[in-house]
Chains A and B, each alone.
Chain A
Amino acid sequence: MSPTLRRVWHWLKKPIEILTFGFAVIHAVTVLGIALVPWDFTSSPTLRGYIVVGAMLGAALSFFLTPNAWMGVAKAKRVRRRNWYLAAALLIYLLLVLGPLIVSQPQLAARFRIAHDIRDLLIDLMKLFEFSILFGSFLTAYFSGGAIILSSDALARPHMDRGAEHNP
């Protein structure tokens, strides 16, 4: 195996070795939630597809990138960054995913002038609307997945074997 391939392999293997099964499950469930909640607001196969694809890409990136980037960093710093990730995930989810989906509903547009105008804009800029959904799901999954991984204490002890703390 070439040195480059070995580095990539090590990079991919590290999160799987470090993170416990519990954290991996929480990570997967969160991403599933991010992908499924908006299904109540749209029945469009196109938009649902964008949401799922965006969430899966964001989740995969956060799963591999976050442990590699934050391994060995002090807990206080990780907690600060986790809070920042959570706030970003929430804001992006509301602004880029749920917000546009809710505003595109005809009932809201019929009642409120501003919703009507925003909805018209979304119809006119349909490609941008679809991109907002895709990119919003991607970023939400990335930041929320990242926040979960940053909560793992395993990141502070990257060289310790899993369970070693119970067998001194």
Chain B
Amino acid sequence: MKARIYLGVFIAFIGSQCFAQRKCQITRWLPTGLERQGGYSFDYQSGRGSDCRDYRLHNEPGQVRTPVDWRDNRDEVKEILFDGDLADCPKATSCPWVEEIKISTIPSETGDTALGYGVPKDEYSDKVGAYRQEITKQGAGYPPFTTILRGVIGGRKVKQHQVAIEVTSSVSGTGPFQLTYRIELAGESEPLGTAAKITSDAELLSFDWQAASTPTFREKLRSQLKQLTPKSSSLEIELSAPDITLETTAALVIYEAETAIAATSAPAYRPKEGKDVAHSAAGLALAKKAD
């Protein structure tokens, strides 16, 4: 039994390394940080590559569910790095990481971020050094943004949820703009419902990409796919708009039934208010992964 668990962890590790290399080549990791206040004990770490930042956390063995809120609170940024619960980790086991990867052309720097945890999440707080966005004037053009949230997170009905979701927002054209949203499972994951806050099944997970979530987007999303599963693991939605704006602070939220159990900022381009134009049905692409 133990050997099987170790093999599973090893395969997951190798898989995640290959995946990470494809999506985000981390060239520098800051030393692993340890939080040890009030009986809590967990590790956190941040890394960066040429065009990406990576944040990850996990409980120490023997630790119970730990609510955590890690964010960059600078007024210009207000970025949620991870807001959710680290899952229970039984004694004498290896505790899986939960990881958030942010891929964009925005340069990064080291600096202070705010890490809160406990019950409630402001019970203990710490200023921790991590890679964070560098505040610079945005260059010309519309670079794509990709956000990945994956790993094991604590849940309400189910103690551990395996999640791996990747969302990408990109733009082409120069007015009218073509907005492309790509959503896919980024590794081993439980099925994810596309309608946020599903009430019918208490254990089913769903997601809400708030930055992209205009009424047209939600309508297209629901009409295309009810769930992201290993068999239909990705979908693409296209919208056109005469004018667009970039929403940077809103989160990608994972729900267990009606309860938000994890969130991280996931930027997306969206039509400027009142200028949302639904794209023709022919423009919608639904990519289904071949078996």
Distance in Å: Cβ of A113 to nearest Cβ of chain B:
11
Interface residues on A, range: 20 to 34
Q: What residues of chain B lie closer than 8 Å to A107, measured between beta carbons?
A: 39
> How many B residues have CB within 8 A of the partner chain?
18
A104 to B120, CA, bound (A): 9
Binding site for A on B (CB under 8 A): 38-40, 62-67, 85, 118-120, 122-124, 156, 259
The 3 lowest CB-CB distance pairs between A and B, nearest first, are: A44-B123, A107-B39, A104-B119
Binding site for B on A (CB under 8 A): 42-47, 104-107, 109-110, 116, 119-120, 122-124, 126, 129-130
A116 to B40, CA, bound (A): 14
The count of A-to-B residue pairs whose CB atoms sit within 8 angstroms is: 48
Across the interface, do B64 and A46 meet the contact criterion of CB distance under 8 Å?
no
CB < 8 Å: which of A43, A109, A123, A130 contacts B67? A123
Interface of A: prevailing SS? helix
Across the interface, do B65 and A120 meet the contact criterion of CB distance under 8 Å?
yes
Given contacts A106-B64, A120-B65, A124-B259, contact A46 B120 (CB under 8 A): yes
Given contacts A43-B38, A105-B38, contact A110 B120 (CB under 8 A): no
Across the interface, do A105 and B39 meet the contact criterion of CB distance under 8 Å?
yes
Given contacts A123-B85, A124-B156, contact A44 B64 (CB under 8 A): no
Given contacts A43-B38, A44-B118, A124-B259, contact A106 B123 (CB under 8 A): no
Across the interface, do A122 and B119 meet the contact criterion of CB distance under 8 Å?
yes
CB < 8 Å: which of B62, B65, B122 contacts A123? B65
Distance in Å: Cβ of A111 to nearest Cβ of chain B:
10
A-B contact pairs, 28 of them (CB 8 A): A42-B123, A43-B38, A43-B118, A43-B123, A43-B124, A44-B120, A44-B123, A46-B120, A46-B122, A47-B120, A47-B123, A104-B119, A105-B38, A105-B39, A106-B38, A106-B63, A110-B62, A110-B63, A110-B64, A116-B64, A119-B65, A120-B65, A120-B156, A122-B119, A123-B85, A124-B259, A126-B119, A129-B120
Find the B residue at minimum CB distance from A122.
Answer: B119
Distance in Å: Cβ of B200 to nearest Cβ of chain A:
19
Find the A residue at minimum CB distance from B256.
Answer: A124
Distance in Å: Cβ of B150 to nearest Cβ of chain A:
22
A130 to B85, CA, bound (A): 18
Q: What residues of chain B lie closer than 8 Å to A130, measured between beta carbons?
A: 120
A109 to B40, CA, bound (A): 11
Across the interface, do A123 and B119 meet the contact criterion of CB distance under 8 Å?
yes
Q: What residues of chain A lie closer than 8 Å to B122, measured between beta carbons?
A: 44-46
A51 to B40, CA, bound (A): 23
Q: What residues of chain B lie closer than 8 Å to A126, measured between beta carbons?
A: 119-120
A104 to B40, CA, bound (A): 12
A104 to B39, CA, bound (A): 11
Find the B residue at minimum CB distance from A108.
Answer: B39
Across the interface, do A119 and B64 meet the contact criterion of CB distance under 8 Å?
yes
